[in-house]
Amino acid sequence: MKTESKSVIHIVWTTIGDWTEYDTRGNWGWLGEIYKRVEASNIEIEIEYSHTLPNKWLNIPQKDFLSLNIEEQSVTTQNIQRLIQSDRIASGLTLIQLFAEANAVHLVCQREKSQLNQRIWRLKSRTATLLNFETKGLVGGVGTWTKGFWYAELFDQNAAELLGKYLPQRTKR
């Protein structure tokens, strides 16, 4: 039964120039595999996706996409944590898991979906600006993130634990 108070939301947004998670030209097969595992688990779980994930990705490489180095990934993660705690718009998310990689940010949280868009847009905007400041304009600012984001909302109180089993174990691309 769907109840927002028990839902967990996995949000992903990508760096500019990379394929979105639901674009068949991309390389997001590992994400599809995670959700196949979650759906095949022994618990009954209902999942609502913002965009349906393809059954197969073509893995067509992008020529010019922004790739964040380890330091930029760390700065992004720290800024998101700080913004979730103190920003007037982005605060209010209950952070469960967060990691940034070279081409994307993954955020697992609890929050009413009705206010999700505004908070994520704020996180994307502020992290891009802060990254620009902290790297002295080398990266960040306009042209850091693609438009929009993908999410999966899982309606089960054990969803966070289940996602936690699979997300950290994924293979690096």
pLDDT tens digits, residue range 64-77?
889 899 999 999 99
| CB contact at 8 A, 151 and 49 | yes
- According to DSSP, the residues that pair with 13 across neighbouring strands are 105
Gap between the Cα atoms of 44 and 62, Å rounded: 37
Residue-averaged pLDDT of the chain: 85
Gap between the Cα atoms of 3 and 74, Å rounded: 33
Q: Per residue in 115-161, pLDDT tens?
A: 889 999 999 999 999 998 888 777 888 889 999 999 999 887 777 77
Gap between the Cα atoms of 173 and 171, Å rounded: 6
Sign of CA dihedral 127, 131, 163, 55: positive
The two structure tokens encoding residue 8: 């967990």
Numbers of helices and strands, H then E, in the chain: 4, 5
The DSSP code for 9 is E
pLDDT (0 to 100) of residue 42: 64
Gap between the Cα atoms of 148 and 133, Å rounded: 23
Q: Is the pLDDT of residue 46 over 60?
A: yes
Cβ neighbours of residue 168 closer than 8 Å, sequence gap 6 or more: 99
Give CA angle at 86 (80, 88), nearest 5°: 105
| CB contact at 8 A, 32 and 54 | yes
pLDDT (0 to 100) of residue 3: 52
Gap between the Cα atoms of 2 and 30, Å rounded: 26
